[in-house]
Amino acid sequence: MKKQNVFQRMGNKIRNAQRTVAVVIDTTQRELKETVQAVRERDPAARSTAEIVLLYSGVHAIVAHRLAHQLQKDEHYFAARAISQAARHLTGIEIHPGATIGKNFFIDHGSGVVIGETTEIGDNCTLYQGVTLGGTGKDVGKRHPTLGNNVMVGSGAKVLGPLKVGDNSKIAANAVVLHEVPPHSTAVGIPAKVVRRGGVKVNDLDQIHIPDPVAQELAKMERTIAELRREVEALRAAGVANEQKEQ
């Protein structure tokens, strides 16, 4: 095959980028419609479509991410990162172009949200301001969380590491999640613990009146020895009675 000169290669790159932008504009129009619907459903303060499209920084960050993510997939890494950083300056929301985000995603209020490169987010998820979906610094490769569908992460919460948050789960405001959260659960606190599963309270172990397994075993042995002693005494008494009868 004939080798292309630098201008031909640049021309190809520009044509690829144009194709990418055309695909993104097409999908963004559809997604924008869905995002506006999602905001209307989840934010009681939203009044009109114009307000949501023009004034919601969460919506701007998502639209910028769709473009950055498509550019990243088409290996335009610098352009992808440039768009992601420009969006961060405008919205205060930093989404790495590599993050995979499902449909009807909504970031309410926005500022201070950070979403890492290997994060995966399902459909219909909501994040509030100050949320970090980040790494612990201990993992390589897949370093960031995976959120299922219909997950809500409250303001200021940190979800750290390549863990899973199951479908329909809620992470409380300011929680720090370091372990997997099962589906249909509510996790609260630092480190986060599951306090509700399927809407039902999960009973925590009583840390004050904690059972002592050694003491339990000793008590069982004591009961067994007492039983054996009673049996031996009964046998001994029966033997004495027999002896007396024979005399």
Ligand X SMILES: CC(C)(COP(=O)(O)OP(=O)(O)OC[C@H]1O[C@@H](n2cnc3c(N)ncnc32)[C@H](O)[C@@H]1OP(=O)(O)O)[C@@H](O)C(=O)NCCC(=O)NCCS
Binding footprint of ligand X on the chain (CB under 6 A): 109, 128, 154-155, 170, 172-174, 186, 188-189, 195-196, 201
Q: How far is the CB of 51 from ligand X (least distance, A)?
A: 17
Cβ nearer to ligand X, comparing 32 with 195: 195
Q: Residue 44: helix, strand or coil by DSSP?
A: coil
At closest approach, how far in Å is the CB of 90 from ligand X?
A: 20
Across the beta sheet with 114-115, the strand order is: 94-95, 114-115, 132-134, 158-160, 176-177
Please identify, using beta-carbon distances, which residue of 118 and 129 lies nearer to ligand X.
Answer: 129
Inter-axis angle of helices 57-73 and 6-42, to 10 degrees? 150
Q: Which H/E stretch holds residue 109? A: none
Cβ nearer to ligand X, comparing 79 with 93: 93
Q: Nearest residue to ligand X, using CB? A: 154
Interstrand relation of 94-95 and 170-171 (parallel, antiparallel or unpaired): unpaired
Q: For ligand X, which is the closer residue by CB, 87 or 177?
A: 177
* Calpha distance 23→205 (Å, rounded): 53
Give the shortest CB-234-to-ligand X separation in angstroms: 53
Give the integer Cα–Cα distance in Å for 98 and 95.
8
Contact (CB, 8 A) for 51 and 43: no
**Could you tell me the smallest distance in angstroms from the CB atom of residue 96 to ligand X?**
23
**84 contacts: CB under 8 Å, gap ≥ 6:** 64, 65, 68, 94, 95, 96, 97
């630098």: which residue's tokens? 6
Task: Give whichever of 101 and 151 is closer to ligand X, judged by the CB atom.
Answer: 151
If the CB atoms of residues 11 and 189 are measured against ligand X, the closer one turns out to be 189
Q: Decide whether 81 or 109 has the Cβ nearer to ligand X.
A: 109
Q: Shortest distance, CB of residue 109 to ligand X, whole angstroms?
A: 6
Least gap, CB of 156 to ligand X (angstroms): 7
Q: How far is the CB of 128 from ligand X (least distance, A)?
A: 4
Cα separation, 93 vs 115, whole angstroms? 8
What is the DSSP pairing of strand 158-160 with strand 200-201?
A: unpaired
- Which pair of tokens denotes residue 207? 């840390």
